[in-house]
Chain A
Amino acid sequence: MTLTATPGTAARGAAEPAVDLDGVVKRFGAVTAVDGISLRIRPGEVVALLGPNGAGKTTTVDMLLGLAQPTEGSVRVYGRKPHDAVALGLVSAVMQTGGLLKDYTVEETVRLTAVLFGKPPGSADEALDRAGIADIGKRLVGKCSGGQQQRLRFAMALLPDPELLILDEPTTGMDVGGRHDFWQAIRRDAQGGRTVIFATHYLEEADAYADRVVFVRRGRIVADGTAAEVKSLASGRTVRATLAGAVEADLRDRTGAEKVEVRGDTVYLHGRDTDAIARYLLNETPARDLEITSRNLEEAFLTLTADDTEPAK
């Protein structure tokens, strides 16, 4: 199954892409982790890389950061080699786990990062503040909770004031409260126009925080579009209405719905163009109490990933 929904923002495409992956393949011995991904991300987009474990998300992130080299294809970040972009502070990342030393304090860790990027000491305080951990600056990293450590990684990632921020499964292992706080901080930050790419397998996160969702499965992009587009592509929406004396076959012919169900006085019409279905019902029939619901992203995700045949190119 191939599903593509290009967001209608081609007009802005003139600017240099923040990320340009072209035919990227990554093999580890006999295992192909990434199997031909081409992806362009424009400055300012907030993109979710969504997929099950082992789909190739982390490998893709590693290649964007210059931590891994593609076997084939090219990776460009703001027109540069990934490692150069990282060294210049154009791109930074919040990694999944590790990457912290227990015997540094929170503040020292951020200060060291400031030193490494050649930033003034004040920038460390600012980053601590923006990540919401200024109050635990004196605490040893080893004594911080998972959520606090993650916000520390976020503070470190903010230090170079990157154009592009990459988050790899940023909320793994956080409780609900920690997850909420973390996304609040990211969201506040993204309002300044930073490009954000986050890899996740939490569907609700992709749904709630991304402008664009890129589904990855078995090292390939299976779908690409806004969360709403992808959801409707994957599963369509359902219109529910109260309509007495409806006939299933009749409704199917007139509305173009894929599936029609009549339960007493209630009808359920399932299809991709629910606007047209609703228009028909309201204009041409005495239907009332209309309700349009989409399946949540979780169901869309299952629909997309349950298909076990190789996706056609």
Chain B
Amino acid sequence: MTVLTERSLPRFGGFSLGMIKLELRRMMRNRRTVIFTLVMPAVFFLLFGTNAKTRHETVGGGNVTGYILVSMAVYGAMLATTSGGAMVSIERAAGWSRQLRLTPLKPVAYIAVKLVLAMIIGLVSVAVAFAVGSVSGAKLPAHAWIECGLLAWVCALVFAAFGLFMGYLLPSENVMQILGPVLAVLSFAGGLFAPLDTFGHTFATIAKFTPVYGVGQLARYPLTHDGNLWLAVANVAAWTLIFSIGAMWRFRRDTARV
């Protein structure tokens, strides 16, 4: 039969723009995702970061409103990338992952698509927060708008890995209902909602080893030029490694054929 010889595998293990487009459309259809990742961080910023006091107090070349804006952008990017990664949990529960194994899509390509998606909504989240901030009194030096934004976004990759890890670890269909509060606690511990020096000394020290701390410090660095940059970098690198190893471990177990 001639048909047999004509068949071929798609390029890049099935990783394609077409799949990313369809997946994005699906994510935007989910109201909870949109509210969680795009609306909530901006609302938090408007609630806590735009009073007269924060507008007039200066930090680096900007104001405290700007400082809080960057923290909220980090928070938003983190929620976005975590929920992007955690999508795998829902897809496993629905048997979709199994269905995908009946296509030429390689598991690695699937993960790559999920990471790209997580980073796209992460970027949108940061952009929305910054757009709201720019018209609500946040002041940052011109270079800091770009650098803080990029850092908040790029560092959120840690949480894409975290989301994937949790997505494979937790079989729940409502994985974000568990991860939402977890992220809130981590954000407190990482100094996103209140500076660490408002905590006791011991707690502030422990907090420096939690995963949000490094991202927050790094993202705000172009504005503040404050704190130990290398400690922050080490924090981000270590947690990225830990979450990636965790995600790979669960992922291998998930795709192993019995």
Interface size on B, residues (CB 8 A): 32
Residue of B nearest to A92 (CB): B102
A interface, size bucket: 35 or more
Most chain B beta-carbon neighbours within 10 Å: one of A68, A69, A86, A116 = A116
The answer to whether B19 touches A116, judged by C-beta atoms less than 8 angstroms apart, is: yes
Q: For residue A161, which residue of chain B has the nearest CB?
A: B3
Residues in B neighbouring A83, C-beta threshold 8 A: 257
Bound CA–CA A66/B258 (angstroms): 10
In the assembled complex, which residues on chain A have CB atoms less than 8 Å from the CB atom of B14? 116
Residues of B within 8 A of A67 (CB): 98, 101-102, 257
The smallest C-beta distance from A236 to any residue of chain B, in angstroms, reads 40
| B256 nearest CB neighbor, chain A only | A69
* Contact among A68, A100, A104, A115 with B257 in the assembled complex (CB-CB below 8 Å): A68
**Residue numbers in B under 8 Å from A65 (CB-CB):** 102
CB <8 Å contact, A99 and B99: yes
The 10 lowest CB-CB distance pairs between A and B, nearest first, are: A98-B95, A99-B99, A118-B10, A115-B18, A87-B104, A116-B103, A88-B7, A99-B95, A112-B22, A116-B105
What CA separation (Å) do A78 and B5 show in the bound complex?
Answer: 12
CB under 8 Å from chain B, chain A span 80-125 = 83, 86-90, 92-93, 95, 97-104, 108, 111-113, 115-118
Contact of B26 among A68, A86, A108 (CB under 8 A): A108
Seen from chain A, the residues whose Cβ lies within 8 Å of a Cβ on chain B are 28, 43, 65-69, 78, 83, 86-90, 92-93, 95, 97-104, 108, 111-113, 115-118, 156, 161, 163
Q: Which residues of B contact A (CB under 8 A)?
A: 1, 3-4, 7-11, 14, 16, 18-19, 22, 25-26, 29-30, 90-91, 94-96, 98-105, 257-258
Q: Which residues of B contact A161 (CB under 8 A)?
A: 3
Contact A99 B96 (CB under 8 A): yes
Q: A95-B98, A104-B22, A113-B103 are in contact. List 12 more A-B contacts (CB 8 A).
A: A87-B9, A90-B7, A97-B95, A98-B96, A98-B98, A99-B95, A99-B98, A101-B26, A108-B26, A115-B22, A116-B100, A118-B10
Q: How far is the CB of A45 from chain B (nearest CB, A)?
A: 15
CB distance from B94 to the nearest CB of A (A): 6
Within 8 Å CB of A101, what residues of B?
A: 26, 90-91, 94, 96
Whether A98 pairs with B104 at a CB distance below 8 angstroms is: no
In the docked arrangement, what's the CA distance between A134 and B143, Å? 52
| Contacts A/B (CB < 8 Å), 30 sampled | A28-B258, A43-B1, A65-B102, A66-B257, A67-B257, A68-B257, A78-B4, A86-B103, A86-B104, A87-B103, A88-B7, A88-B8, A89-B104, A93-B102, A97-B95, A98-B96, A98-B99, A100-B99, A103-B26, A111-B18, A112-B22, A113-B103, A115-B22, A116-B14, A116-B16, A117-B103, A117-B104, A118-B8, A163-B1, A163-B3
